[in-house]
Amino acid sequence: MMQNFFVKSHGLGNDYIVLNQEDITFELTEKAIIRICDVHFGIGSDGILLKVPSENADFGLRILNPDGSEAEKSGNGLRIFAKYLYDHGFTAEKSFSIETPGGLVRAEITEEKNGKAFMIKVDMGKAIFESKKIPVNCEKEECIGDTLELEYRGYEINCVSVGNPHCVVLTDELDEKEIKTFGPQIETNPMFPNRINVQFAKVVSPTEVEVMIWERGAGWTLASGSSSCAVACTVVKRGLTERNLTIKMPGGNLAIEIDEDWEIRMTGEVREIGSGTLSAELIEDLEL
Q: Is residue 227 a known part of a binding site?
A: no
CB count, 10 Å around CB of 70?
A: 15
Q: Is residue 20 a known part of a binding site?
A: no
Closest contact distance (angstroms) between CB of 75 and ligand API is 4
Strand partners, 244: 257
Q: Is residue 216 a known part of a binding site?
A: yes
Closer CB to ligand API, 74 or 171, in the complex: 74
Closest contact distance (angstroms) between CB of 16 and ligand API is 8
Asked if 147 and 154 touch (Cβ cutoff 8 Å), the reply is yes
Provide the binding-site residues for ligand API, judged by CB under 6 A: 14, 46, 63, 65, 71, 74-77, 164, 197, 215-218, 224-227
Closest contact distance (angstroms) between CB of 209 and ligand API is 16
Closest contact distance (angstroms) between CB of 70 and ligand API is 8
Indicate the SS3 state at residue 236. Answer: helix
Closer CB to ligand API, 20 or 228, in the complex: 228
Q: Is residue 226 a known part of a binding site?
A: yes
Closest contact distance (angstroms) between CB of 68 and ligand API is 11
Residues 6+ apart with CB under 8 A from 280: none
Q: Is residue 114 a known part of a binding site?
A: no
Closer CB to ligand API, 128 or 283, in the complex: 128
Closest contact distance (angstroms) between CB of 63 and ligand API is 6
How many whole angstroms from its chain centre is CA 266? Answer: 12
What DSSP character marks residue 139?
S
Closer CB to ligand API, 272 or 285, in the complex: 272
Residue 117's H or E segment, with its range, is strand 116-126
Classify each residue of 158-188 as buried b or exposed e, where b means 16 or more C-beta atoms within 10 Å of its C-beta: bbbbbbbbbbbbbbeeeeeeebeebbbbbbe
DSSP states along 152-206: S-EEEEEEEESSSEEEEEE-SS--HHHHHHHHHHHHT-TT-TT--EEEEEEEEET
Q: Is residue 95 a known part of a binding site?
A: no
Residue 110's H or E segment, with its range, is strand 103-113
Q: Is residue 158 a known part of a binding site?
A: no
Binding residues for substrate, by number, are 14, 65, 75-76, 164, 197, 215-216, 225-226
